[in-house]
Amino acid sequence: MKIGIIFGGCSEEHPISIKSAQQVAKHLDRDKYEPYFIGITKSGAWRLCDGPGAGWENGDPVALSPDRDVHGLLVLRPDGYETISLDAVLPVLHGKFGEDGAIQGLLELAGIPYAGCDIQSSALCLDKTLAYTVVRSAGIATPEFWTVAADESVDADQFTYPIFVKPARSGSSFGVSKVLSKEELASALEFAAQYDSKVLIEAPVVGSEVGCAVLGNDPDLVVGEVDRIALTHGFFKIHQEASPETGSDNSTPVVPADISPAARSLVQDTAKAIYRALGCKGLARVDLFLTDAGEVVLNEVNTFPGMTSYSRYPRMMAAAGMSMSELIDAMVSLAVTGKLR
C-alpha cells in the first residue's frame, strides 16, 4: 500500500510532530507499506522527502491534489509535475491545521482515506469549550469554565482562585497558566492570547490526572491501559521540557495506573462515552481527572495524540499488548476499511 505520512506543520507543535513521525517511520512495516513522507515547514511549504530526519526541508516541492481524478500527490519538477497515487494518509500532525479539521478537509476533498477523526470531530475536540458543551449535554462531568475573547475585558473579582487560563484551541500545555490571585489574571490572559484568540478559564478539579487511549470506530472500540500522571510539583506540562526524552520536569506517567479495578473500568467506560459523544473515529487520547470521590471529569481530547518515544498513547496501547507496528496497522485498516483487522 502506498501510504502518505504528513508531518511538521505550522502550529507550535511542529517539532513534536516531527518526533512522532520519526517513531512512525521507525516502526512502519516496509513489507506492507510503501511510505511517502511529506513534511510541512513552519512557513507552510510542503516537501516530499526520504523521511523526518535531518535535511527533510530540502525535499522536492509537493502538493496534495484536491482533484479526485489525480488522487494523490503532485511532485513539482522544473519541466512539469509527477503524480503519485496514495492509498491512505497518516496525518501525523498535532494542534492547529493538524487536529482541527483543516488537513482532514483537504483529504476529504481529495477522496483519500486517512487515519484519525473526521472534520467535524477534529474541529469539535480541538476547541475545548465546544467539547465541554457537548460532553456536558451527554451527562458527563467537565470543569466549570468561562470563555472570553483574547481582547475582552475580564472582571478578575468574579473568580475564586486558583483558576487555570489556557488557549481554547491549542495543545501540549502551550499558553497554560495556573493563576493564584486576581493580580496574575491579566498576564495569564495575555499569555494565552499569544496562541489563540479564544481563551478558556477553568475552575480547578481536585484529583488525579488520568488518561485513556481509544482506538476504533463506534461501536467496536478498543482501549489501552489507563495511565496516571504522578506529579512532583506544580501542574502537569508536556512538551515544555528542555530534554523530554529523559522524562518530564515534574511528572512521571504510571502505566498501568495505580488505581482500583473499579476506577480503571469507570475511566475506560467514560473515555469511550466521550469518544462516542464527540463523534471520534480512528483514534484519540481522552485525558481525564479522577477525583477522590470517584468521579471522572473530562480534561481534553487529543484526536491525533503524540506518537513520540515518550508519548502517552503508544505507551498505554503497548501496556495493553499492542505494539507500535500493530498500532500503525490498525490505523491504516480503520482508515481504509473502517474496521480493525
Binned average pLDDT, 10 residues per bin, the chain of 341 residues: 97 94 98 98 97 96 93 91 96 95 97 97 96 97 95 93 94 87 96 94 95 96 96 55 53 92 98 98 98 96 94 96 98 96 76
Span 145-202: which CATH code? 3.30.1490.20
**What is the torsional sign of CA 146, 151, 157, 161?**
positive
- Would you state the pLDDT for residue 240? 45
- Would you state the pLDDT for residue 232? 66
In Å, what is the CA distance from 192 to each residue of 16, 45, 198, 292?
20, 27, 9, 30
Whether the CB-CB separation of 131 and 298 falls below 8 Å is answered with yes
The CATH number for 2-114, chosen from 3.30.110.40, 3.40.30.10, 3.40.50.20, 3.30.530.20, is 3.40.50.20
End-to-end CA distance of the chain: 15
Q: Position of cell 508519548?
A: 311
- Would you state the pLDDT for residue 77? 87
- In the chain, where the domains are located: 2-114, 123-141+206-337, 145-202
- Would you state the pLDDT for residue 248? 54
Span 123-141+206-337: which CATH code? 3.30.470.20
- Would you state the pLDDT for residue 174? 86
Q: Judge if 123-141+206-337 and 145-202 fold alike in CATH terms.
A: no
pTM for the model stands at: 0.92
Task: Choose among 152, 151, 146, 208: nearest CA to 179.
Answer: 146
Distance CA(64)–CA(303), nearest Å, equals 22
- Return the number of other C-beta atoms located less than 10 Å from residue 35's C-beta: 17
Distance CA(118)–CA(95), nearest Å, equals 15
- Would you state the pLDDT for residue 68? 92
